[in-house]
Amino acid sequence: MKTVGVARFGGPEALRVFEVPEPHAGPGQVRVRVHAASVNPGDRYLRNGSLGRNSATPPYVPGMEAAGVLDEIGAGTVTDLRIGDRVMAMTVPTEPGGGAYAQYLTLPAQRVTRAPEGTSHAEAATLPMNGLTARGALDLLGLSPGQTVAVTGGAGVVGGFVMQMARAEGITVVADASPTDEELVRSLGADRVIRRGRGVARRILDAMPEGVDGLVDAAVIGSAVVAGAVRDGGVIVTLLGEGPHAISPAELRRRSLRTSMVFVPDYLDDRARLDRLRSQVEAGELTLRIARVLPAEQAAEAHQLLEAGGVRGRLVLAF
């Protein structure tokens, strides 16, 4: 089967096509014939070696989410899925089976659910990991209807999902955007839109003078930078490690703030959450956004586009 990965860690140019033996579903597993795999910012960390190896020998295959058709069910596997079902799945590329940039994936059955009705494979492939990240962020905030959340990176895929989920739950949203993205961010659920960039915390406070109850830093600005926008006793959720941009423990204690980081593999085997995402798409509560679909052979170009920035929606590889 065809996979896309690296034999040696490096930049986008390190990605190439490999032919490897097909995997088959074992007990408790299903196999997905992948038709689309999304390209996410985290994929570069496996490609460049930051995450280490995901198998004893190359190729090392990135990718965390895919969509396609269920084509094998392992012996003794309990599932409501049937061969031929259109499905979506999330995987962890550092596990021995490798990532989603592959024609076939074998996965525990609980990591696979039906794709939303009326979506293409490419659209469905953008939902599992990005949607679970947004869901995890909101769960960590623990907000109630009528409370307020700020979202940095509102035009991004995860930021957009956070806003749409928050709106569906009756939470007031303020989000940042560039002038060219303001209309998009409003359409995704922002009640107030403020200009992105330096000074964003002050502009959030201008919009919400008492401070917001929670903040999701989808732009990975850093909790130290955005903390001023959050009321004392509030919560900041981050998506990646922050390094020097993290708020100090002393400041957290002084203001009774709490910070949490989304670790999406915690949700890997939570099929109910994954299926809830499907339902929300079908109900019109979540919007799936594709920037561009490229053949799997053009994975290096997809990573170059991703690293250049400014992509709205997800790049997707077609298999």
Name the band, by pLDDT with cuts 50, 70 and 90, for residue 57: confident
Residue with tokens 């586009």: 305
Q: What's the mean pLDDT in 121-143? A: 97
277 touches 115 (CB < 8 A)? no
**Of 34, 126, 135, nearest in space to 87 by CA:** 34
Q: What is the pLDDT of residues 112-131, one digit of tens each?
A: 999 999 999 999 999 999 99
Q: 3-class DSSP state for residue 245?
A: helix
Using a pLDDT cut of 90, give the percent of the chain over it. 90
Mean residue pLDDT across the chain: 95
Instruction: Map out the domains of the chain with their CATH numbers.
Output: 2-127+288-318 (3.90.180.10), 131-264 (3.40.50.720)
> What would the mean pLDDT of 189-200 be, rounded to a whole number?
95
* Backbone angles phi and psi of 315, in degrees to 5: -80, 140
- Whole-angstrom CA distances from 281 to 83, 108, 255 are 23, 23, 38
For 173, list phi and psi in degrees, rounded to 5. -120, 130
Among the listed ranges 65-79, 90-104, 111-125, 287-301, which one has the minimum average pLDDT value? 90-104
